[in-house]
């Protein structure tokens, strides 16, 4: 078992048992559709914090660098592992072996029950990460420095201040592409028929969400799948996953507002200088 992470703004952080009950910290795609091979450089990461195993989403932005959220890297024990298969598991269990010592976390790459390699790396957190305490200096950005280069084309980091090109009057009519391995909100097969975040299938999903608000640090989008302008948004487990516009990665998923993932999504901008200057120290530079 492992837990997915999702932050719910202005609320106490909670966790979600992947096989049992969900938590309030980063998200998974609500609505949308299976991504298939649409975004092969987006992977699912597993890591240990405080003795528990968690999952987030991350994007390969250089051969050895994964871009994700700071709340998926801060306080990590040992190493983080990643796999880019679009379908991890249709149902429980995932077949990914746990760390020998949860307190120490992963110490190396591992092979799961299906023979897939999960590549290991060390987590690094943006030094200005505010841990959800300062909206003007949110900086919810982290990276995983992989031990082995990945043989695939990295995502393109957006040019500096790219989102500022979107006019305020056009934001609500602009669609952003969200990708992640989060939970899917649907009615369970048994029990109360209230739409609930479901942990399986654990697959990479994609959704289109219209813009709602843009600040110097955050892009908010409307992730409600009932909004006819888009197809859905993020949910538990999508934390750290990318949002794309015009083929560029412009954000990582940071937080949500509700436990059923049917409202606004908060996305940390990665096109701003405070983020891009830090990423440059890992050899990651914006496109163009």
Q: Is the pLDDT of residue 270 over 70?
A: yes
Name the CATH architecture for the domain at 1-288.
Answer: Beta Barrel (2.40)
Domain parsing of the chain, residue ranges: 1-288
Q: Is the pLDDT of residue 114 over 60?
A: yes
Average model confidence (pLDDT) for the chain? 87
The reported pLDDT for the residue numbered 81 is: 98
Q: Is the pLDDT of residue 15 over 50?
A: no
Higher pLDDT, 14 or 95: 95
Q: Is the pLDDT of residue 19 over 90?
A: no
The reported pLDDT for the residue numbered 186 is: 63
Q: Is the pLDDT of residue 102 over 80?
A: yes
User: Which of 38, 26, 44 lies closest to 177, judged by CA?
Assistant: 38
List, for residues 181-213, the tens digit of each pLDDT value. Answer: 987 766 666 777 666 667 788 999 999 999 999
pLDDT grade for 8, boundaries at 50, 70 and 90: low
pLDDT grade for 159, boundaries at 50, 70 and 90: very high
List, for residues 31-73, the tens digit of each pLDDT value. Answer: 688 999 999 999 999 999 999 999 999 999 999 999 999 999 9
Q: Is the pLDDT of residue 4 over 70?
A: no
pLDDT grade for 121, boundaries at 50, 70 and 90: very high
The reported pLDDT for the residue numbered 10 is: 34
The reported pLDDT for the residue numbered 288 is: 82
pLDDT above 90 covers what percent of the chain? 71
Q: Is the pLDDT of residue 23 over 70?
A: no
The reported pLDDT for the residue numbered 29 is: 63
Q: Is the pLDDT of residue 267 over 80?
A: yes
The reported pLDDT for the residue numbered 188 is: 64
Q: Is the pLDDT of residue 96 over 70?
A: yes
């Amino acid at each position: 078992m492992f837990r997915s992470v999702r932050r719910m703004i202005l609320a106490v952080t909670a966790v979600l048992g992947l096989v049992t009950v969900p938590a309030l910290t980063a998200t998974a795609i609500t609505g949308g559709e299976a991504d298939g091979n649409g975004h092969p450089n987006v992977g699912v990461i597993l890591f240990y914090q405080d003795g528990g195993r968690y999952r987030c989403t991350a994007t390969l932005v250089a051969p050895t660098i994964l871009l994700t959220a700071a709340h998926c890297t801060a306080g990590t024990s040992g190493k983080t592992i990643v796999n880019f298969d679009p379908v991890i598991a249709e149902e429980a269990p995932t077949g990914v072996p746990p760390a020998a010592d949860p307190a120490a976390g992963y110490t190396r790459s591992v092979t799961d029950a299906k023979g897939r390699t999960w590549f290991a790396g060390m987590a690094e957190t943006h030094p200005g990460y505010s841990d959800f305490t300062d909206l003007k200096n949110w900086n919810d950005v982290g990276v995983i420095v992989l031990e082995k280069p990945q043989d695939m084309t990295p995502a393109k980091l957006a040019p500096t201040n790219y989102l500022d090109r979107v006019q305020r009057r056009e934001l609500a009519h602009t669609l952003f592409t969200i990708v992640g391995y989060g939970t899917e909100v649907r009615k369970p097969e048994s029990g109360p028929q209230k739409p609930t975040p479901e942990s399986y299938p654990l697959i990479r999903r994609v959704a289109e969400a219209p813009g709602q608000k843009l600040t110097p640090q955050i892009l908010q989008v409307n992730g409600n799948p009932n909004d006819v302008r888009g197809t859905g948004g993020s949910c538990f487990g999508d934390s750290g996953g990318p949002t794309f516009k015009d083929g560029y990665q412009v954000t990582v998923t940071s937080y949500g507002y509700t436990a059923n993932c049917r409202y606004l999504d908060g996305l940390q901008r990665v096109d701003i200088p405070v983020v891009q200057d830090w990423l440059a120290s890992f050899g990651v530079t914006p496109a163009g």
